[in-house]
Amino acid sequence: MTPTPNPHVAALAPYALADLSAPPGKRQVSLAQNESALAPSPAAIEAARAALAGVRLYPDPDWRDLRAAIAGVHGVDAGGILCGSGSMELILALALAYLGPGRRALTTAHGYLFFRAAARLAGAEIDLAPETELTVDVEALLAAVRTETRIVFVANPGNPTGTRIGRAELLRLRDGLPGNVLLVIDEAYGEFADAPGESMFDLAGQGGTVLLRTFSKVYGLAGMRVGWGLFPPEIAGQLRKVLNPNNISAAAQAAAAAAMRDQPYMARTRAETAARRDRFAARMRALGLAAPESRTNFVLLRFPSAEAARDADAVLRAEGVLMRATGGYGLDDCLRATVGSERDMRLAGDILADWIEGRTPA
């Protein structure tokens, strides 16, 4: 007799992280995980270092200083904020609290894969609504809602598409959903897309909507594992029961709070990242590749065929440049390129330019 897992766990494939193997002797250039190209604010590192003096004690289970920092910057009620060990923890907690056998989640065709993993971990099924031109299609989502649907997950901007829908579209989605369906708007790249009058934080005040953000992207703290969200009180109460009560280390809480308070630094990272992204995307389009307009720190490159995308990936990989293959997202003709250093973007661009010129008969 051997121990047997729950059937729904046994049926799961391992979560597919990026393949980060570079050939021996090549400098590894990871453009595969949407980490920030730039270091976090020096204030964040300093705060983490200072917090180490107190690690004999458990961290603050209420994340008080971190929540105060977030509330101050975003003008939201600190009482509605919950923090997670990355926003992935919050996504999983939402799935565990609101999904289960007999219930269904819904997301979009090219939506973030962890939504699917979380739903299945909770023992639920997941439905996929088509997108239109690599962009969330609200009508298609509403048409795909079933009586068993309990959560709709939308990443906005999307990963791996990088595209974004506006506030009016999201309001139309919320208005069209039944009241018993929780709408989770994952704004992991929200800082890159924040526009005046477009904030969605007010929706959490209406009861059935959750907004998620993270310190892993523009704040450059992916290794610290801190995410946060704005939750209606009833949902926050349920989630608290699911979350690990000591989920974020003291050093990570301190780093995130300091990073949040250093908004000028965040704004510089955002601007520099966007400039590199737009230069790289323009170069790729000039080479004849399609790339939807990105509102994030990555660019989705669309090749003429799945075979071409595979070839390009192999050519890049042979030089140590690792992009993310997106076949798991239903986009086997694409590669997702995270914005890295200027040098790395030039290298990636040069490799693809040589490859395309070599393939194209003169």
Ligand X SMILES: *Cc1c(COP(=O)(O)O)cnc(C)c1O
Q: Which residues bind ligand X (CB under 6 A)?
A: 34, 86-88, 112, 155, 159, 186, 188, 214, 216-217, 222, 227
Comparison of 184 and 352: residue with beta carbon closer to ligand X: 184
CB of 179 to ligand X, least distance (A): 25
For 227, the token pair is 């995410």
Buried b (16+ CB within 10 A) or exposed e, 57-68: eebbeebebbbe
* In contact, 212 and 227? CB cutoff 8 Å: yes
The secondary structure of 310-356 as a DSSP string is HHHHHHHHHTTEE-EE-GGGT-TTEEEEE---HHHHHHHHHHHHHHH
Between 99 and 188, CB nearer to ligand X: 188
Q: Give the residue with the Cβ less far from ligand X, 41 or 352.
A: 41
Least distance to ligand X from the beta carbon of 249, Å?
14
Q: How far apart are CA 64 and CA 50, in angstroms?
A: 17
* Residue with nearest beta carbon to ligand X: 86
User: In this complex, which beta carbon is closest to ligand X, that of residue 59 or of residue 84?
Assistant: 84
- Decide whether 104 or 164 has the Cβ nearer to ligand X: 164
Pick 221 or 351: Cβ nearer ligand X: 221
Beta carbon of residue 200, minimum distance to ligand X (angstroms, whole number) = 15
Separation of first and last alpha carbons in the chain: 65
Residue 149 forms beta bridges with which residues?
104
| 3-class state of residue 295 by DSSP | coil
Give the separation between CA 280 and CA 289, rounded to whole angstroms: 11
In the complex, minimum distance from the CB of residue 153 to ligand X, in angstroms, rounded to a whole number: 9
289: three-class secondary structure by DSSP: coil
């107190």: which residue's tokens?
A: 54
Closer CB to ligand X, residue 187 or residue 344? Answer: 187
Give me the least distance between CB of 100 and ligand X, in Å please: 22
Structure token digits, residue 256? 């995130």
CB of 33 to ligand X, least distance (A): 8
The residue type of 281 is A
Contact criterion met (CB below 8 Å) for 289 and 355? no
Quote the least distance from Cβ 71 to ligand X, whole Å: 19
Q: Quick one: CA dihedral 199, 205, 209, 211, positive or negative?
A: positive
